[in-house]
Structure 1
Amino acid sequence: MDKSIPQTDISPYLTYTKAEWADLRQGMPMTLTLEDLERLRSLDDPVSLTEVAMIYLPLSRLLSFYVEATQGLHGATQRFLGKTERKMPFVIGLAGSVAVGKSTTARILKTLLARWPSSPKVDLVTTDGFLHPNAVLRAEGLMEKKGFPESYDLPALLAFLSAIKAGQPKVRAPLYSHLVYDVVPGEEVVVDQPDILILEGLNVLQTSRLPKDGKAVPFVSDFFDFSIYIDADEDELRRWYIQRFMSLRQTAFRDPRSYFARYAEVGEAEAGEIATGLWERINLVNLKDNILPTRPRADLILRKGADHHIEQVMLRKL
């Protein structure tokens, strides 16, 4: 390499330690209580009020700037085009592996954003509802690939997001039950013109191969105004997944309606082997082939350490 050529940082991200990121809070008030946090965090997720103050409050402050700027640009564009302004929700995509803590992060963000002084309406939808029903997955031999891109009803998800972005009222999404591990027939979530929508899912940053004829192929992320990826080392994800599986054996799996009720009855060692097999056969493959490759597409990466706490924040440069 020619040493006369100056070396520059070619990373598209600005990287912050937890302490550096916490300084960006700039007096953003704490609006969560410990009782709130107990309700919002998932099983085995150790997120604390200190972490909310150091990570999520600065992020809430940053998002307030993005929402204001995006809405201002939308209004200016509508006026330029001579059109009547129509409410266009700000959409946040949240991606990451199984067991990384997406659900907790999504719920904390939803609550913080809704408690801004302007009291915006904030909705949260997961892509689980857009999974094909188990009967369809079985018929197509995809039960072992549940959560992979091909297991979703992508046209339905794109139609949902298109309607949301168009400002349509009472847009409906299928409801998914983690208890029965399936889409619930006849049940829906209704999203009625929110100011902000958070869409959480494994593969929301996924792309597909572009057609050679140049015709438009919409991606889910085309509808995002901001995207977040929660990251962690593979070994830690594996450990958290197995730990969560073993904890669920003492809680949700004991419900006779649970799809996984059979795992509550097996011995500890056998349960550990089952969890390890599920991780390596399904979730690890999905992570390596589909989820992790989308990480560089995120606007913000929250990097977790071995203790499940966020230790680094990476923000895409403008």
Structure 2
Amino acid sequence: MPHTRVVQQLCTQVMSAQSGTGRVLVAVAGPPGAGKSTLAAELVTALRAQTGESSAALVPMDGFHLDNEELRTRGLLATKGAPETFDTTAFVALVAAIRKDNGDLTYPLFDRALDKTLPDAATLPAAARIVVFEGNYLLLQQGGWAALSGMFDVTALLSVPLPVLRARLVARWLEHGLTEQDAEARATRNDLVNARTVLDHSAPADLLLSAQSDGQIAIETKRERVNRAG
């Protein structure tokens, strides 16, 4: 795995958070282009290897993008991906329902190629005792996202330097068919604005995962950050 050391640390945190038969909810947060999806998928694979194939599941936040027509009506289509362009209320309700452990639950997915949400496209089985969420705003302390505070048992925040994010995001938009000029504009005027929001206004995570210039990821616990600051 590309993030073997990080995944091992996260697995240790998750196993330590297990208590009785209740679910363990994990948040993998970070700015767009940080590598959240890859890390979260690797974590779920590792957890399944340790605890059983059906024991861990992944729930992406992206399925809660508001539809383009709704965004157009609200005048928000140009800033799609910003905190206010998601159905925050519905996402918070899903996390709460998963926490209550009410059997099988369906949730939406986002099709990036079609640029649309697919309602009830995935099912979280009742057998999944560890649920890994990934998304930009899971730890955001602003607006309706703040209602997620305290809902997760283990939290991780990926921090990547803005120049690295910019290069990744421009490449992403080029892959989706945008011209170089449009890709640069989309990354700079929208994605990086959202990245700063995530990095500046997210709650402290149990694990801060900071990308280094050599491609490695430095791991710092919340306690280590407090001790260093004090």
Q: 1:238 aligns with which of 147, 153, 166?
A: 166
Counterparts in 2 of 1:1-318, with a 5 A limit? 47=2, 51-52=3-4, 54-67=5-18, 71-72=19-20, 87-117=21-51, 121-184=55-118, 186-193=119-126, 194-208=128-142, 219-246=147-174, 248=175, 253=176, 261=177, 263=178, 271-288=179-196, 290-307=197-214, 309-317=215-223
Give CA-to-partner distance per residue, 1:16-61, whole Å, 9 cap, x none.
xxxxxxxxxxxxxxxxxxxxx5xxxxxxxxx3xxx41x33223323
Indicate conservation of the 8 Å contact 2:105/2:125, yes or no: yes
Report deviation, 1:117. 4.7
Seq. identity, %: 24
Radius of gyration: which is bigger?
Answer: 1
Letter of the 1:291 counterpart: V
Indicate conservation of the 8 Å contact 1:206/1:219, yes or no: no
Unpaired runs of 5+ in structure 1?
Answer: 1-36, 38-46, 73-86, 211-216, 254-260, 264-270
Unpaired runs of 5+ in structure 2?
Answer: 225-230
Give CA-to-partner distance per residue, 1:238-277, whole Å, 9 cap, x none.
112223333x2xxxx4xxxxxxx5x3xxxxxxx2222111
* TM-score after normalising by structure 2: 0.87
Report deviation, 1:316. 1.1
Give RMSD over aligned pairs: 2.3
Taking the aligned partners of 1:314 and 1:295, their CA distance within structure 2 comes to 16
Report deviation, 1:148. 1.4
Taking the aligned partners of 2:146 and 2:101, their CA distance within structure 1 comes to 18
Taking the aligned partners of 1:137 and 1:282, their CA distance within structure 2 comes to 15
Indicate conservation of the 8 Å contact 2:40/2:132, yes or no: yes
Letter of the 1:316 counterpart: K
Cα distance change, pair 245–145 in 1 and its aligned pair in 2 (3 A) = closer
Letter of the 1:59 counterpart: L
Cα distance change, pair 180–102 in 1 and its aligned pair in 2 (3 A) = same
Cα distance change, pair 294–94 in 1 and its aligned pair in 2 (3 A) = farther
* TM-score after normalising by structure 1: 0.65
Taking the aligned partners of 1:131 and 1:228, their CA distance within structure 2 comes to 22
Indicate conservation of the 8 Å contact 1:137/1:143, yes or no: yes
1:306 is paired with a residue whose SS is: coil
Letter of the 1:293 counterpart: D
Cα distance change, pair 276–306 in 1 and its aligned pair in 2 (3 A) = farther
Report deviation, 1:118. 5.8
Structure 1 residue runs of 4 or more that deviate by more than 3 Å after TM superposition? 117-120
| Count of aligned pairs | 223
Q: 116-125 or 89-98: which moved more? A: 116-125
Taking the aligned partners of 2:171 and 2:212, their CA distance within structure 1 comes to 16
Give CA-to-partner distance per residue, 1:264-299, whole Å, 9 cap, x none.
xxxxxxx222211111110111122x2112345211
Question: Paired residue for 1:83?
Answer: none
Taking the aligned partners of 2:47 and 2:212, their CA distance within structure 1 comes to 25
